[in-house]
Amino acid sequence: MGDFGVIADVSSVLVHTLTRSLHGLSQVEPPIAELNDLSETVQTPPPKLTVFLYEIAEDPTSRNRPPVRSQPPGPPTTSKPPMALLLRYLITPWGGDQTTQHRMLGRALQTFYDDAILDGTRLSGSLAGGTDALHLTLTPLTLDQKSWVWYAIQKPYRLSLNYEVRVVNLDPAVRTGVRPVRSRTIEGTATP
């Protein structure tokens, strides 16, 4: 489960995973991955794969879960269930020639195909040591939908990948104390 920093932690995990996978692509100047909002020109060299978080949504399949009760030891508390998030990323190659950019995209596809579920020691920050797993899926967007993403950030269209990461659990900040029931009284009317 993650605290308020879980979104940044997921982005860091993706950047670290991609940078590690790109390391063997070139002996001269290995490409790197970086978190970038694409508001400025991407500085190259070295060639880069930018990781841009362009949408955060609530996972509709995880709504209406029951409240979460704390486990002993400690005083009993209850809280809302974690908010299940979907994070959508745009992964774009920059720098180098077209062949290098295509190879970077191919390596990203290969990496997230081989490791479509990131868990355990590959997670860091508020995700480390937990039981959560990040499921990565290549998002099937039409060319029109991709063009709208580029239009929204006011940049010309570039060949890129769209990935969805689910389910990222964001823990609630508020926990409510619960008092145990010590006795109860049942009242009713007697029927003859």
pLDDT in tens, 4-63: 778 888 899 899 999 988 887 766 778 888 998 888 888 878 889 999 999 888 887 777
What pLDDT sits at residue 109? 93
Interval 61-87: pLDDT, tens: 777 776 677 667 777 777 777 778 889
d(CA 50, CA 18): 10
Structural domains of the chain sorted by starting position, each given as residue range(s) with its CATH number in brackets? 6-62+81-173 (3.30.2000)
C-alpha to C-alpha distance for 167 and 151, rounded to whole angstroms: 27
At residue 2 the predicted structure's pLDDT band, cuts being 50, 70 and 90, is low
Q: Are 69 and 29 in contact (CB under 8 A)?
A: no
Question: For the residues 99-114, what does the mean pLDDT come to?
Answer: 91
Q: What is the DSSP letter of 41?
A: P
The tokens describing 145, both together, are 């939908």
What pairing do the DSSP bridges indicate for beta strands 48-58 and 32-35? parallel
Q: Please identify which residue in the block is written with the tokens 């007697």.
A: 190
Query: CA-CA distance, 52 to 163, in Å (whole number)?
Result: 10
DSSP 8-state assignment for residue 33: E
Dihedral-angle region of residue 145 (phi above 0 means left; psi in -120 to 50 means alpha; beta otherwise): alpha
Mean pLDDT, the chain, whole residue set: 81
Characterize the bridge pairing of strands 83-94 and 48-58.
Answer: antiparallel
What local confidence, expressed as pLDDT, does residue 5 receive?
79
pLDDT at 146: 84
Omega within 30 of 0 (cis) for the link into 72: no
pTM of the model: 0.78
**Strand (E) or helix (H) holding 91:** strand 83-94
* Contact indicator for 127, 113 with CB cutoff of 8 Å: no
Give the residue-averaged pLDDT of 165-172. Answer: 75
